[in-house]
Amino acid sequence: MRLSSFKTDVFAGISKRQVEFDKGLNVIIGPNEAGKSTLIEAIYATIFQEARLRMNLGVDKDFKARFMPYPTGEYINGILEFIIDGEKYKLKKEWGKEHSTVLELPDGQILKNSDRIKRKLKDLFVFGRASYGNIVFARQRDVKQAVERIIGNDDIVHTVSSFLRKAVMELDGISVEHLRSRLGEEIDNLVKRWDLNNDRPDNPNRDINNPYKVGYGEIYEAYINKVSIERKMKKALEMEEQLAGLSRELQALEEERQGLKTEIEQMAEIENDVVKRASLEPEIKRLKEKTGTLKRLNREWPVRADELVRKKEELNNLDKSLKELSREKSRAREKARLNESRSILEKINRLKKEMQEKYQERQEIKQITIEDIKEMESYQDIIKRNKAAMEAGTLLGVINSACDQVILTRGLAEQEEIEAGVEFKADGYLHLVIEGIVDVEIKSGEIDFDSLRREYQLAQSKFDKLLSNLGVESINEARRKREDYNRLTSELNNLNQQIKGLLDGRKYEDLQEEAGKLNEMEFVRDEGTVEKELDRVNKERSKLLAEIKSLEDRINSWQEEYGDVDKLFELMVSIGTELKAIKGQLTGLAELPDQYDTAEGFNSSLTRLRKKKEELDDRFTSKREELRDIMAAMPEESYEELLVSRQDYRKRFDRLQKKARDLIKIRAVLHRKLAEMDNNSFDPLVDLFSRYLSILTAGNYQIGDVNNNFQLKIVNEKNSSLPVDINLLSFGTYDGVALAFRLALLEQLFKDREGFIILDDCLVNLDPARKKEAVTLINKFAEKYQVIFTTCNPDTADSLGGRVIEFTA
């Protein structure tokens, strides 16, 4: 991978800038504050910074504060072109009120969906944001600070491998020993006296009933607090529920007692009158019921008699309707038969019309026989055969001298006039006449031209005459007309057969006559409608017969019991006199309440209410004593207050357990990764680091190890080791070490693939000798990878060479 170009309209302090990059070494030179660092940060942001800025994230807030023009800037953008395996990609990003991301692929496809683009960039920039940020785009000072932190730790004796491993981790701000120690302390403070796997105290017997007093961790403490408050909550809830239940019961009992008391008092006032009324009311009730029955019967009897007469008249009318419908049904069947005849007649008329059209169409076609076709084919064969024979003896010629008039007859064609110098061709026969000069006739020696010509002309004449007689222009047209004539004949025969089938032995005139009768039956309903009407009338008649029978039975029963309506009225008067006398005895007595039908019901209800009130009084006294006992035993805190505390304790307990599990996982991963790193995993990086340090010292030495003072032991070709003065190999500062380490790390990272690195001015603190070696190393590195070097020093740019990019404010 390498960068091809970068363009921005505005990004922080730079605007309207476009930079093109080449393979190998690119040197960006410009004064301080020209925006070189901002350019590099813009390239990094275009690749890795999300276009949609979320202001609840610190990194996004910081990005906006650093790079969005203040105070009126609405957006910033970046357009980066890069090349991977020879194919060009184009990435566009815009940040601000309107944000967008667009990725153009080498095949022309354009991606606009941010999730798809994110996945694609992850595939292209395989090492991720952190690796590119800490290695490819890292500032020199960040790498130097990592090296200084490791060398400043006097407790560690370094091999080159362990030094490099720690340097890689330091680039991400990780202090391994401090992290390992803090992890152990944090986990111990959390899980002491707690079994995290089984989610219980390490000793099951030391639960809430027998808790540890000292020596426990935060999880155990949170667990005891949680269980303790849950106990209090359970007790408080039980007592509050009991108190609320008893209060509701007492209120309901009191309301019921007062209601019963009022009702009993009201009923007691009329109790004696009700007892007297109880002896008279049953007879009154009986007489009232009898009177009611007789009154209803007196009203209903004449009505039912009139209804019986009316329904018998309706039955007579229905019988007349049935006879008329039966006659209409017969006429409907006849109408259906005539309709069918008319339908058949209409189909026949359509077929006759179609026959007439096809007959007329056939009349316009001359009948051509198969013999006519065969005769034409025989003439055509002769014409083709003779023409082919003559074409086999093709003659070529040209008139070379100018002549006044040249008359040419060739093959079977007519005479024509040609000019001198024009080449001509003839099939089998040539007759050339130059007036006053020559008259020559040439024939092919392989054919009898005269005989062929006569036979050809005769066949052609007969063929043309036959075409004219038949009224066609070609044999194909004759075939088509014969086929059309035969098709129309077949279709006429088929139509004729259809008409015969529809007539089915009847005469066409008879069908016409029957169809004419249909006009006389215009207002006759169809048979289905009449059938429905018949069914309806029959059902109505059956229903009417049942109603007449019911009325007759009811009137007969009344006559047997009462005789007639007059006798019924006399009985009503007698009962009314008796009822009036009994009601006179009730004068002055209290009325029975409306909700009671009888005095017995009133007395029974009053007895029941008095007994119920006694029971309620006993229950009310008992519940009131129980309420006093519960109120005395209530806890100081309510259930709602304890619930809020329980939620806090439970959240803390769950949070601490999750934290402990996460820290244990982190510790396991840390141990595994450190073991992997210590298992010779850094050998290739050690080799590269050694080689680059050797180049920077201009010597042919390999590095052996590093002591506490960062003095390097070197090994010569004879494998003898000797310490080297720190002034020779420490490069005076850590700049050389940092550069060698970073180049080695990058080459190990990219290995056999393309890659690029951004170097800010990492040579500024090197003395001339070291700077020269560093320039050599950077140029050597640029032969394989793309290097983008930023500097404000023209001498540094000159010494580096490569593509120089002027960058001014």
Residue 193 per-residue DSSP state: T
What digits encode the pLDDT tens for the residues 385-406? 888 877 766 667 777 766 667 7
Q: For the chain, give the percent of residues with pLDDT over 90.
A: 18
Tell me how far apart the alpha carbons of residues 575 and 173 are, in angstroms, rounded to a whole number.
117
Q: Answer whether 740's CB lies under 8 Å from 692's CB.
A: yes
Task: Give the residue with greater pLDDT, 716 vs 780.
Answer: 780
What pLDDT score was predicted for residue 174?
47
Q: Is the pLDDT of residue 155 over 50?
A: no
Look up residue 343 and give its amino acid.
Answer: S
Bridge partners (DSSP) listed for residue 76: 95
Tokens of 591: 């009325």
Residues 372-396, mean pLDDT to the nearest whole number: 83
Give the pLDDT confidence score for residue 94 in this predicted structure: 95
Strand 110-111 and strand 803-806: the pairing is unpaired
- Lowest-confidence pick of 15-19, 177-181, 373-377, 795-799: 177-181
What tens digit of pLDDT does each residue of 307-344 get?
Answer: 889 998 988 998 888 888 888 788 888 778 778 888 88
**569 — pLDDT class (breaks 50, 70, 90):** confident
Residue 602 has pLDDT above 60, yes or no: yes
Question: 110 falls in which pLDDT band (50, 70, 90)?
Answer: very high
When the pLDDT of each residue in the chain is averaged and rounded to a whole number, the result is: 81
Query: What number of H helices and E strands is found in the chain?
Result: 22, 21
Residues present in the chain in total: 809
**pLDDT for position 81:** 97
Instruction: Tell me which of 716 and 404 has the higher pLDDT.
Output: 404
* 340-349, 731-740, 741-750 — most confident range: 340-349
Taking only the tens place, the pLDDT of each residue in 257-293 is 888 888 888 888 888 887 777 777 777 788 888 888 8
Q: Pick from 238-242, 541-545, 561-565, 681-685 the range whose average pLDDT is largest.
A: 541-545
Does the structure show a pLDDT above 70 at 365?
Answer: yes
Residue 173: which pLDDT band, with cuts at 50, 70 and 90?
very low
The whole-number pLDDT of residue 297 equals 86
pTM above 0.95, yes or no: no
| CATH 3.40.50.300 corresponds to the domain 2-21+31-136 | yes
Domain 2-21+31-136 and domain 142-172+682-806, same fold? Reply is: yes
Is residue 632's pLDDT more than 60? yes
Per the CB < 8 A criterion, the answer to whether 737 and 730 are in contact is: yes
Q: Which of 787, 806, 730, 604 minimizes the C-alpha distance to 137?
A: 787
Q: So what's the pLDDT on residue 700?
A: 42
What pLDDT score was predicted for residue 733?
46
Residues 6+ apart with CB under 8 A from 802: 22, 24, 25, 26, 27, 779, 782, 787, 789
User: Does the pLDDT of residue 129 top 70, yes or no?
Assistant: yes
- pLDDT recorded at residue 150: 52
- Percentage, residues of the chain above pLDDT 70: 84
The pLDDT tens digits for 35-68 are 899 999 999 999 999 999 887 888 888 898 888 8
pLDDT-wise least confident of 1-15, 136-150, 553-567, 773-787: 136-150
Pick from 93-97, 391-395, 563-567, 627-631 the range whose average pLDDT is largest.
93-97
Q: What angle do CA 205, 206, 208 make, to 5 degrees?
A: 110
Tell me: pLDDT of 124 over 70.
yes
Those residues whose C-beta lies under 8 Å from the C-beta of residue 443, and which sit 6 or more positions away, are 428, 429, 430, 449, 450
Share in percent of the chain as helix, strand, coil (round to 5): 60, 15, 25
Q: How far, in Å, are 76, 96, 115, 462, 463 from residue 50 at the CA level? A: 13, 11, 11, 93, 89
pLDDT recorded at residue 381: 92
Class of domain 142-172+682-806: alpha beta
* Burial tier of 272 (Cβ tally within 10 Å: 0-12, 13-18, 19+): exposed
Report the candidate in 99, 46, 101, 96 with the shortest Cα–Cα distance to residue 72: 96
* 595 SS3 class: coil
Peptide bond into 71 cis (omega under 30): yes
pLDDT for res 103: 95
| pLDDT at position 111 over 90 | yes
**What's residue 725's pLDDT?**
40
> pLDDT of 463-517, one tens digit each?
889 888 888 888 898 899 889 889 989 988 998 998 888 888 888 887 777 777 7
- The full set of domain ranges for the chain reads 2-21+31-136, 142-172+682-806, 173-270+593-681
DSSP sequence for 51-119 = SS--TTSHHHHHHHHHHS-TTT--EEEEEEEEEETTEEEEEEEEEESS-EEEEE-TTS-EE--HHHHHH
